[in-house]
A = this chain, B = another copy of it.
Amino acid sequence: MKSDLDRLMKTRNLDAILVTGPAQHNPAMVYLTGGRHMTSADLIKPCGGDPLLYYNPMERDEAAATGLRTKNLAEYGFEDLLKQAEGDTVKALALRYQKMLTEQSITSGRMAIYGKIDVGAGYAVFSALRELMPDLEIVGETARDSMLLEAMATKDESEIEHMRQMGKITTTVVGNVADFLTSHQAKNGFLVDRTGEALKIGDVKRRINLWLAMEGAENPEGVIFAIGRDAGVPHSSGNADDLLRLGHTIIFDIFPCEAGGGYHYDFTRTWCLGFAPEQAQALYEDVFEVYHQIMAELEVGALFKDYQKRACELFEARGHPTIKEDATLQEGYVHSLGHGLGLHVHERPWSGSTATQDDVLHPGAVVTIEPGLYYPDKGMGCRLEDTVWVNLDGKIEVLADFPMDLVLPVGHGNH
């Protein structure tokens, strides 16, 4: 949680953190500012001290609205810095950081850097800063071991309110989609509208975006609405021109966020329109059973990756190949059980190959539980996913309820 930041910084011997980039769609900056309309900014927080937000003058109101201490970047006179750097932009930017850090008495020790920006610019500027400030170690962490992601991995009540609200929005939209589909009729094995026109996946996706916008949410990474063989490939997003054929599995995976790049929700259902063939029904039941078995076994304080192992065992016992045996597997259970969720659609704790001994289901953790089975050559796949919170009492809570039924009934017109 955010309240753990100083403790975590101390544990990792970090004397400061520096966050850079926009204050929208940039989880590190959104986490520390609350998210505002700022196209680029810097934030420096010493261990045990308050953050200082550096803003561009046109964005002074947005900066002020964060409630943080702020400073105008224009005070550093970029033109002069550029002269001092003999026209070298990278060096001018490094000189500016040096000034900012020196003013805050951060001239030695260890400083971790965060923020989604262009990797080339970041690499160059921080390499130059390292040369200017050799006593200051610049620490870069991956998604596997990031201090900030460790803080983000547990959520407090106010963050959970955001995620609950996104869960409500998500399930409302999923409900709209179900209603929309079942309001159609079947004709020659496909879903058609009142005029007999075949419905396409693109039509469904357009409505999903519209309904999300109506609820004030954003869908920056799109939605997976994939049928048949595409449902057999976990991250196939679905072909806009595909028709909705009855009796074929549809994977509907939706992971919207609050406007401006705030908290996400992540949710998947698998549907068959009209009826489910025996093979699809059997596939669904295997996933359904594993989902419920895992949910029943989840315990606060456990290693998340142990449940990945458990999911593999359960799927193997039902005769499916799993990723445990072969990392390049493309049939059977081919991905990890779930992942943390928050300002990133994928964050800590991890359950898959990137998981470590620190990926624990601590109180406050929010994770997806999303077992799935994929058989692209048989033209089918199934995934069931809910977002769960290990609440502050250590109980496991699904953040938004929605039925798991496989079959969505549709009327028969002139079938």
Contact at B119–A122, with CB atoms within 8 Å?
yes
Q: Give the distance to chain B from A363, nearest Cβ to Cβ, in Å.
A: 26
Q: Knowing A78-B353, A115-B119, A233-B60 touch, does A216 contact B209 (C-beta < 8 A)? A: yes
> Which A residues are within 8 Å of any B CB, using their own CB?
20-22, 24-25, 28, 37-39, 56-62, 72, 74-75, 77-79, 89-90, 93, 112-127, 138-146, 206, 209-210, 212-214, 216, 218-222, 224, 230, 233-237, 259-261, 327-328, 330, 334-335, 345-346, 353-354
CA distance A79 to B113 in the complex (A): 26
CA distance A222 to B22 in the complex (A): 12
CA distance A222 to B218 in the complex (A): 10
Contact at A327–B58, with CB atoms within 8 Å?
no
CA distance A300 to B356 in the complex (A): 57
CA distance A216 to B230 in the complex (A): 23
Q: Knowing A39-B235, A89-B142, A125-B142 touch, does A115 contact B115 (C-beta < 8 A)? A: no
Contact at B58–A334, with CB atoms within 8 Å?
yes
Contact at A39–B221, with CB atoms within 8 Å?
yes
A77 contact set on B, CB distance < 8 A: 327
Can you list 7 A-B pairs with a CB-CB distance of less than 8 A?
A37-B222, A60-B233, A78-B353, A209-B213, A213-B213, A218-B218, A218-B219
CA distance A56 to B79 in the complex (A): 43
Cβ 8 A contact of A124, one of B20, B24, B142, B328 = B142
State the number of copies, please.
2
A140 contact set on B, CB distance < 8 A: 90, 119-125, 127
Contact at B61–A230, with CB atoms within 8 Å?
yes
**What are the nearest 5 A-B pairs in CB distance?**
A124-B140, A213-B213, A119-B122, A120-B140, A37-B237
CA distance A58 to B138 in the complex (A): 34
CA distance A78 to B328 in the complex (A): 11
Q: Knowing A59-B235, A89-B145 touch, does A119 contact B113 (C-beta < 8 A)? A: yes
A20 contact set on B, CB distance < 8 A: 119
A39 contact set on B, CB distance < 8 A: 221, 235, 345-346
Q: Knowing A74-B328, A77-B327, A120-B139 touch, does A335 contact B58 (C-beta < 8 A)? A: yes
Contact at A121–B93, with CB atoms within 8 Å?
no
A233 contact set on B, CB distance < 8 A: 58, 60-61
Q: Give the distance to chain B from A126, nearest Cβ to Cβ, in Å.
A: 5
Q: Give the distance to chain B from A27, nearest Cβ to Cβ, in Å.
A: 9
A116 contact set on B, CB distance < 8 A: 116-119
CA distance A214 to B140 in the complex (A): 41
CA distance A260 to B221 in the complex (A): 6
Closest to A19 in B: B119
CA distance A221 to B25 in the complex (A): 8
Contact at A334–B220, with CB atoms within 8 Å?
no
Contact at B114–A119, with CB atoms within 8 Å?
yes
CA distance A364 to B250 in the complex (A): 43
CA distance A72 to B24 in the complex (A): 32
A60 contact set on B, CB distance < 8 A: 233, 330
A123 contact set on B, CB distance < 8 A: 113, 122-123, 126-127, 138, 140
Contact at B124–A127, with CB atoms within 8 Å?
no
Q: Give the distance to chain B from A143, nearest Cβ to Cβ, in Å.
A: 7
A260 contact set on B, CB distance < 8 A: 220-222
A115 contact set on B, CB distance < 8 A: 118-120
CA distance A370 to B244 in the complex (A): 46
Closest to A112 in B: B120
CA distance A42 to B242 in the complex (A): 29
